[in-house]
Structure 1
Amino acid sequence: MDITALLAQAASLMLTGMVGVFVFLSILIVAVKGLSKFAAPKEAQTQPSSRATRSQASDAGKIPGEHLAAISAAISQYRNQHFQSEK
């Protein structure tokens, strides 16, 4: 085979592979978007509706003061040790 035929075959294989990957990824995107539409209504139904439940949910993300103080002290101690060892 001459170089022209080999290059034509290589281009054909490359194009076939790229089209195959594009089609597969397109189907995957459509499937994920379709599945997300099925999951979305279930999330909306599980959200809290009463005020007490909402206040408990907002308090769940807060860090207690004692924990915050301990974390700050540990970071400060680490920085002091790290920067003193560099000198």
Structure 2
Amino acid sequence: MDLGSTLQQAAALMLTGMMVVFIFLTTLIGLVKLMSKLVPEELPPQTASTTMPSSNVNGQIPGETIAAISAAVHKYRSRQR
């Protein structure tokens, strides 16, 4: 084999590979665009209206909340020992 025929084979192989990649990517882009039209968009979940926790007139934390936090801290500290 001489250098000329080797270069021709290399060029043919390179062009064949480039065409295969081009056809694959073109097909992939077409399929993605088709899927984007067929599959509906995901809508963000509707958020429920946020309600502010009720606070006392004086702005103090309710006793039930303080008791729950105290119990949780006590349980956490007892497990750490």
**What TM-score do you get using the length of structure 2 for normalisation?**
0.51
Are residue 27 (structure 1) and residue 33 (structure 2) matched?
A: no
Letter in structure 2 aligned against 1:3 = L
Task: Give % identity.
Answer: 48
**What TM-score do you get using the length of structure 1 for normalisation?**
0.48
CA RMSD of aligned residues (A): 2.4
Show CA shifts across 1:24-61 (max 9, x none): 110011001101111136x36xx66xxxx44x28x6xx
Report which of the two has the higher share of helix.
Answer: 1
> How far, CA to CA, are the matches of 2:40 and 2:26 in structure 1?
21
The aligned length equals 50
Unaligned runs of 5+ in 1: 60-87
Structure with the larger RCO, 1 or 2 (CA within 8 Å, 6+ apart): 2
Are residue 40 (structure 1) and residue 40 (structure 2) matched?
A: yes
Unaligned runs of 5+ in 2: 51-81
> How far, CA to CA, are the matches of 1:24 and 1:38 in structure 2?
21
Larger radius of gyration: 2
Match of 1:82?
Answer: none
Letter in structure 2 aligned against 1:9 = Q
Match of 2:16?
Answer: 16
Letter in structure 1 aligned against 2:32 = V
> How far, CA to CA, are the matches of 2:23 and 2:40 in structure 1?
26
